[in-house]
Amino acid sequence: MSVARHSTGISRLDQALGGGLIPGTLAVVMGATGIGKTQLGVSYAYAGKKQEGETGILFDLTTRGDSQNQPEYADRMFGWKFRQRSYSDQFDPNVVWDAGKIRADYLHVFHRGGRKVTIGDMQPEEWQEFKADLMRRLDQTIAFFYGNFVHGVRRCVIDGAEPTPKDADSFQFHLFDYVYHQVLRKDHDWLARDLFRVHFRSHEQNVMQHPYDHRTIGGMLLYTSHEVMLDDLIARPIQSGDVLSNANTIIMIGKIRNGNTISRALYVAKHRGSACEENILPFRITEQGLIFE
């Protein structure tokens, strides 16, 4: 199957990517906090409005610190007013088929309570309690993705992944791994079975009337790094099991030194199955997002 590449909403970056990102694959955008990852993610999500007729969605993993400011960026950059979904919303299976009720742009999965993101930071009983709480939240998580996909959304951005020594120790990456493999890359009818469970038969006709091909869905993970300088990011080793090892595309954003000046730049470190530029691309951040020199 051949599908059109997804524009990032930034023509110079699309050019560096040989035409854009490849649907059905994972792109990881990596860089330190405040470097411009969220603006890039919002740009990619908004570009879906022109290309697929629906804006993308943002799934926020942040557990501590400040908000990633996705709604503020979306409004400032594009006049895009986020429709936000909350875990306080009770899931009603019947609303899935009503775009006006189920369609949302943003969901924040955790409370920002200052909790660290590694399993080792918790006592065994805390980890078990956290996993039980997460399972209770999965219905809303699946409903958020499935309810958007059946109404035309074809791109999603997962933001707020915080740095840890090993991805396998991060409970954020446990959730990300589930979402990526068991939601984004699952056939629509099997995902519907996970959502509706014992009520699947009563919704089966609607499920079959709202098919989508998961191979047309693009996923972008925004991953905060310890490294700030672009050279350090490029030199960063990729370990077995690291999310970077499984990504189709890796975009690194960091700071570069030019004499006495520090500026921002981007480098496409990996773009499997496609030609891409080897250039380091300087850019600046404006009210409209990333502007390349």
Task: Give the H/E segment covering residue 181.
Answer: none
Q: Which of 290, 265, 250, 266 is nearest to 22 (CA)?
A: 250
Helices (H), the chain: 11-16, 37-51, 70-78, 99-102, 124-149, 171-179, 188-196, 200-209, 230-235, 243-246
Closest CA to 6 of 152, 137, 155: 155
pLDDT at residue 150 in the model: 97
Q: What is the mean pLDDT of residues 212-236?
A: 95
pLDDT, average across residues 52-60 = 96
CA neighbor of 107 nearest in space, from 150, 154, 143: 143
Q: Is residue 71 part of a domain?
A: yes
Q: Is pLDDT above 70 for 129? A: yes
Strands 155-161 and 57-60: parallel
Position 67 pLDDT exceeds 70:
no
User: What is the model's pLDDT at position 195?
Assistant: 93
Residue 3 pLDDT grade (very low, low, confident, very high; cuts 50, 70, 90): confident
The answer to whether residue 2 sits within a structural domain is no
Is 284 domain-assigned? yes
Q: Is residue 81 part of a domain?
A: yes
Cα atoms found within 13 Å of the Cα of residue 86, Cβ hemisphere only: 3
Is pLDDT above 90 for 30? yes
Residue-level pLDDT at 90: 65
- pLDDT over 70 for what percent of the chain? 90
How far is the C-alpha of 289 from the C-alpha of 205, rounded, in Å?
43
Please, which residues have CB within 8 angstroms of residue 83's CB and are 6 or more apart in sequence?
A: 103, 104, 105, 106
Residue 201: pLDDT band (50, 70, 90) is: very high
Over the chain, what is the mean pLDDT? 89
- 35 is a domain residue: yes
Domain span at residue 124? 11-292
In a domain, 3, yes or no: no
> Which residues, 6 or more positions from 263, have their beta carbon under 8 angstroms from its beta carbon?
255, 256, 282, 284
Whole-angstrom CA distances from 93 to 82, 99, 134, 152, 194 are: 22, 13, 19, 18, 12
Q: Which tens digits make up the pLDDT trace of 132-185?
A: 777 777 888 999 999 999 999 999 999 988 877 776 677 788 888 889 999 999
pLDDT at 199 over 70: yes
Q: Is pLDDT above 60 for 233?
A: yes
pLDDT at residue number 13? 97
Q: Is residue 262 part of a domain?
A: yes
**Is the residue at 177 inside a domain?**
yes
Strands 261-271 and 281-286, bridge-based pairing: antiparallel
One-character DSSP codes across 84-103 = EE-TTSPP-GGGGG-HHHH-
Is pTM, for the whole model, over 0.85?
Answer: yes
Q: Give the HSE-up count for residue 286: Cα atoms under 13 Å, Cβ half-sphere.
A: 8
Q: How many domains does the chain have?
A: 1
> Rounded to an integer, what is the distance from CA 161 to the centroid of its chain?
9
Interval 9-31 mean pLDDT: 96
pLDDT tens-place string over residues 235-256: 988 776 678 888 999 999 999 9
* Residue 149, domain CATH: 3.40.50.300
> pLDDT tens, 87-115?
665 678 888 999 998 999 999 877 655 55
